[in-house]
Chains A and B, each alone.
Chain A
C-alpha cells in the first residue's frame, strides 16, 4: 500500500461548482498536511497548511483533516476557470526534519 493515495482524475467541472479533492494515507504518524496547486510548467504553490485534525478555511478554499479515517480533503467553492491546475496533497510526521510525502496530484479543469 502506498503511503499517500490521491485520485489522479482528471476532474472536469463547470464554473461555479463545488470541488472536492481527496487524499488517503496509511501512516498514522502524519501530523502536518498541505495542499499545493501547480499550474502547467510551473512549480507547486502552497494553498493550505494544517496541523492534526480539523478544518481550515481561506476564502473559497477549505481544508479538512480526519485523522481517525486517515483522510484529508480540499474543498473549492464557486470554482473558477483560474482554478484549473493540478492539486497535490503532501504530509509529514511530527518529528522535525522528516521528509514531506506527496500524493501524485489530481488534475482539475473548470470550464466557463
Chain B
C-alpha cells in the first residue's frame, strides 16, 4: 500500500537533547512538508521541501532542522533550541510542488518532554 509512514508514534525528549522524527513516503511524491499541531492552534508549517537536497523554512522553523537526501525521506530534528517542543508532528506529501493536488498526511508523531 502506498502511503506516508511516520515513526515513532510517541517520542520523549529530555532537556537539552536533540531528537529526530522519521517520515518516509512510497508515493513517489516530489514535495514533502512538516507541520506542528497544538490543541486549539491548527496546523502550522515548520519546513517544506520541493525537491531532493532543497528545503525552505515555514512559519515556525526556529529550533528545528531538516534534510532531504532521498526523495522518499524527509526527517525532522527537534533541537534543544526548541523550548516548547511538546506537540503532535505531522508529515505530508504532494505529488508535485507546483501542481494543484492536495496534500496527504501521515499518522503523526507525538513528542513530549520528560
Interface residues of A (CB under 8 A from B): 6, 8, 32, 34, 36, 41-46, 49, 51, 88, 90, 96-97, 99-100, 102-105
Interface residues of B (CB under 8 A from A): 4, 6, 40-43, 45, 48, 50, 58, 90, 97-100, 102-108, 110
Across-interface contacts of B48 in A (CB, < 8 A): 99
A44 x B90 contact (CB < 8 A): yes
A97 x B50 contact (CB < 8 A): yes
Q: How far is the CA of A43 from the CA of B4 in the complex (A)?
A: 10
Chain B nearest CB: distance from A2 CB in Å? Answer: 9
Chain A nearest CB: distance from B3 CB in Å? Answer: 10
A96 x B98 contact (CB < 8 A): yes
Q: Which of A32, A36, A43, A44 contacts B100 (CB 8 A)?
A: A32
Across-interface contacts of B43 in A (CB, < 8 A): 44, 88, 102
A104 x B41 contact (CB < 8 A): yes
